[in-house]
Amino acid sequence: MQIFGVDIGGSGIKGAPVDLGRGDLADERFKVLTPHPATPDKVADGVAEVVDHFGWQGPVGITFPGVVTDGSTVRTAANVDKTWIDVDARALLSERMGGTAVTVINDADAAGVAEMEFGAGRGHGGTVFVLTFGTGIGSALFIDGRLVPNTELGHLELGGHDAEKHASTKVKDDHDMTWEHWARRVQKYLAHVEMLFSPSLFIIGGGVSRKAHKFLPLIKGIKADLVPARLQNNAGIVGAAMQATKEA
């Protein structure tokens, strides 16, 4: 069975049909740049462009980089335009695609759902975090395999600032940090989350996960197991498609 998934990020909007039997993309993903400012109308146009690229007809699952309540209403918008707040994203995106059935889920939650079903979290009980490092830091918390939605722990205070302003991949790139320097920042963030929640497993996702060998071995003193996401930066697309199936 195939369902279409779209992942809205701070820098790009990417999507593809997803083979839900394998938990993998059924075709090479297509990406457009996230518009700036990333207003609802402009982002909706980008999502429609990604879906139209494949000539897709059918349900579409879509991630959003912020809190989404009741599968529709946007409550936060840290890395897109603030005019998203209180928008009915499901209605807007469905209308832009001619009435297509749409589901909307927090981006890190989508990545987490996919990793727990098909990736590094498969079969793990207890407390598990999937953390996505990119423009910001996304978090997905699972208790015995069940998602606790919209945790948004990239906004924990760390050193007087949002953690994602201290340890996201964007911060690394903007300041041209070495892997060693950035790994120390990630370590400080993980230690803070570990102090609060005592998880048994951290799964590190986002685009940087494909370079996990460059920084994960540099992180010391974390008691939880620390592993890269197996689905890497496709996890959000896969999880969005999974959510679309659940709500169909």
* CATH number for the domain that contains residue 206: 3.30.420.40
pLDDT at 248: 60
Q: Give the percent of the chain with pLDDT over 90.
A: 95
Q: What is the span of the domain harbouring residue 239?
A: 2-109+235-247
Give the tens place of pLDDT for each residue, 188-203. Answer: 999 999 999 999 999 9
Residue 115 is assigned to a structural domain of this protein: no
pLDDT tier, 246 (very low <50, low <70, confident <90, very high otherwise): confident
N- to C-terminal Cα separation, the chain: 13
Handedness of CA 158, 164, 168, 170 (dihedral sign): negative
* Number of domains comprising the chain: 2
8 and 38 assigned to the same domain: yes
How far is the C-alpha of 73 from the C-alpha of 87, rounded, in Å?
Answer: 6
143 and 187 assigned to the same domain: yes
242 and 195 assigned to the same domain: no
18 and 91 assigned to the same domain: yes
Tokens 């832009």 correspond to what residue? Answer: 96
Give the tens place of pLDDT for each residue, 49-102. Answer: 999 999 999 999 999 999 999 999 999 998 999 999 999 999 999 999 999 999
pLDDT at residue 175 greater than cutoff 80: yes
Query: Per-residue DSSP letters for 76-140?
Result: --SSS-GGGTT-BHHHHHHHHTTT--EEEEEHHHHHHHHHHHHSTTTT--SEEEEEEESSSEEEE
Give the tens place of pLDDT for each residue, 154-171. Answer: 999 998 989 999 999 999
Q: What Cα–Cα distance (Å) separates residue 118 from each residue in 113, 177, 179, 209?
A: 9, 32, 28, 16
Q: Between residues 248 and 106, which one has the greater pLDDT? A: 106
Compute the average pLDDT of residues 229-233.
Answer: 94
Average pLDDT, the chain: 96
pLDDT tier, 247 (very low <50, low <70, confident <90, very high otherwise): confident
100 and 128 assigned to the same domain: no
